A and B are shown apart, each in its own frame.
Chain A
């Protein structure tokens, strides 16, 4: 009988997830424009796999299937993972990654709201460790690619690993700018000569920086819609910029500047879509700042000193572990309690 308040205003979980997906659309459009339509196949593959896996797991766990399928969270996980993977990777790579994200990282921990780790990043990390070579085969930006694949060509390559006659893998793929920078610096090449290569754009990688800009746009939309607060993007991008900026000022020959870091790799995707996952992140404002700043610092460290070209996934997962600790120690002052 007693159920006050009798009114609510909130968008439901489904609406929130739908808006997150809507916010990803500019990034996806930019992706297709810059790198070809292969990413759409990955997105579709991941979505179907996620929904089937989610439904099956809910059934096995005797939970209501429809309400949880419709909440949209599995789709968001699928999209984030698909956008983080090389779009021309074989179909089974995407399926395995998505299955791991949904079945292990999400449902085995109790489903929506109960996963301590970001499911998409778990899926990504598992693939990166298990299939490192496949995970570094990125398509070259269309602007500099030696050959262009039609949609059907990409489909054939993803499902059958067959390229049209006369086109080699080298013609359509390349290392990422982050990867290139790392290996070339090890080879004692100068920063200027590395970044003047056609793979590099205005401040990030060619094509990649456009996609990053589109993610930024989508992120601002989410902030305007009050789906995320400013804390995590600002702290993450700020920490990344600070680390790279200081290093760049000290030794510009060896360390890329902040703009390069902000617009390369998964920086923007992480700032607005990955680190902002509420379920696996902290809830207090101060906690969000600490969490995201630490991810920024770790990401930079992995990029510069670590064994992988990008460090977002590991940084996020490491900080996911710290969330209970961060939350417990950043509780805001309660009204009427000593300052």
Chain B
């Protein structure tokens, strides 16, 4: 059946270059001698190590477990011995190393005994716990821990479960091939997600440049007892962005700053749901993923690769990179980043490796000034005004950039793609975002410091006053019949203190009754400080009167 397709602003049509890697079925890659498994392969907390160097582990064995709410476990992709746990280069835009487990493989590929998880009978809490141990993350590239998104619904379910098979980035075809070859398993994954989230509607979104995948998914969906709609969306980058896909297939715009679940929507990548199916039905944790290897290589294609496999090993399988290769890009050409080295491992987020060459991705010409042509605004899928954000970022007018919703920018690169002046706009936005975040942090720290300082000053003042009172008392006790001048001074001080006291206790109408206890406490504290200060100045005033007298 046909479903209604909505629209979003902008979008671009970069050359697809997908045919190169769809010619052959997915090929299984062998086991390399060594796997490198970064602990952080997902968004969220670093998982807690559960093994140490020298341990022998089996395929699927837990190496590190999820820590905190948003985190994901790491498992051994094959059997072998842990050689070391230390910082290694990882595939990350920063190019910085991170803690990784190095596993010397034994070639046996021996599984840890595992069994199906009786997910249909399991109590929601137990199921949530089990999913937490799965280590599954979003395989579309964002690598957000799936357990957080798959918490079994306790109340009313979702309105829409959206399955993302759009794969809008050029070059990448891993989801395409997966849908062609393993549609039945994906549909079983959809059934599981629907069951857990009690979704009313299930929609699979596929771009219209993948007719084979669409056909396979339609056939698989037809076999399902569940009503699953396959929605064919026009090929338009970035239709595979979760919020854009949601808008395309449901017409719902997820409000800025909110989660999609706030409007009853949850989006999963096709490969992620397949992993969920494999985990719950066979107890298999994620040990491998499909990676597209393409660009400047001899035999582009899709490979099923053990996590932790060095990228160079994968490249060799694809016939090796051609001689004019000048770098490796992980991800697509629109949002991908340059790998720091060919030895970095394939991680859960690695959907594609592109060998780059000047022929494919020529160096952009030097940037010209912005001519305000607003092509970027026409292309922006978030309806931002990239040219304004650029001016503000460039001028470091960060507050303005924030006002113009800089933080709604998804860094998809459409603006740079169409810019006739070849301005690296996305880099300007990243810079401005990080500046703003840094400033906010500094501001917060400064506020904290100021509060501390105020508190310190008030404490010093209080102590001074207490000392003065003590001194006065002592003096009064020692010289019972002191000079009348002293008496007068004392009387003046007492009168001043009494006035201050009266002022303090005077009941004035306050508009703070309805505030939270914490805020009220803060106000009370501030009032006390003020009264103390007044008391102190009263003492000063009395002293002065005395001297003048």
Contact = CB atoms under 8 A, between A and B. Distances in A.
Q: What size tier do the contact residues of chain B reach?
A: 35 or more
A335 B381 contact: yes
Interface string B155-166: 000000000000
Contacts of A73: 371
A67 B364 CA distance: 14
Interface stretch (A5-13, A43-51, A81-89, A244-252): A5-13
Contact of B9 (A7, A281, A335, A337): A335
Interface string A203-233: 0000000000000000000000000010000
A2 interface: yes
Given A334-B405, A335-B256, A8 B364 contact: yes
Interface in A94-130: 111-114
B336 interface: yes
Given A114-B369, A283-B377, A9 B256 contact: no
A187 interface: no
A5 B199 CA distance: 36
Contacts of A2: 93, 337-338, 427
Interface stretch (A147-155, A193-201, A300-308, A325-333): A325-333
B344 to A, nearest CB: 13
Contacts of B253: 335-336
B371 A3 contact: no
Nearest to B333: A6
A4 interface: yes
Of the listed residues A6, A113, A333, the one surrounded by the most CB atoms of chain B closer than 10 A to its CB is A6
A5 B171 CA distance: 13
Contact of A1 (B12, B95, B383): B95
A301 to B, nearest CB: 27
Contact of A334 (B258, B336, B383): B383
Nearest to A332: B383
Given A6-B329, A10-B375, A113-B370, A331 B427 contact: no
Contacts of B422: 8, 10, 12
Interface stretch (B125-133, B278-286, B384-392, B493-501): B384-392
Interface in A1-30: 1-13, 15-16
Contact of B356 (A6, A10, A336): A6
Interface string A147-172: 00000000000000000000000000
B14 interface: yes
B519 interface: no
Contact of A284 (B247, B257, B377): B377
Given A10-B419, A335-B243, A335-B253, A113 B372 contact: yes
A71 B367 CA distance: 12
B383 A9 contact: no
A279 interface: yes
Nearest to A112: B369
B482 interface: no
Report the contact-size class of chain A (Cβ under 8 Å from the partner): 35 or more
Contacts of B334: 4-7
Given A279-B371, A334-B382, A9 B9 contact: no
B368 interface: yes
Contact of B371 (A278, A332, A333, A335): A278
Contacts of A10: 375, 417-420, 422
B406 to A, nearest CB: 10
B333 A16 contact: no
Given A8-B419, A67-B366, A337-B405, A13 B371 contact: yes
A6 B372 contact: no
Contacts of A336: 243, 253-258, 382, 408
Interface in B343-379: 356, 360-361, 364-366, 368-375, 377-378
A332 B361 contact: no
Interface of A: 1-13, 15-16, 67, 71, 73, 111-114, 229, 278-279, 281, 283-284, 327, 331-338
Closest 8 CB pairs of A and B: A113-B369, A5-B413, A336-B256, A6-B361, A283-B374, A6-B333, A335-B382, A278-B373
6 contacts: A1-B93, A3-B338, A5-B335, A6-B361, A8-B417, A332-B377
Interface of B: 8-9, 12-15, 93, 95, 170, 243, 247, 253-258, 329, 333-338, 340, 356, 360-361, 364-366, 368-375, 377-378, 381-385, 387-388, 404-405, 408, 413, 416-422, 424, 426-427
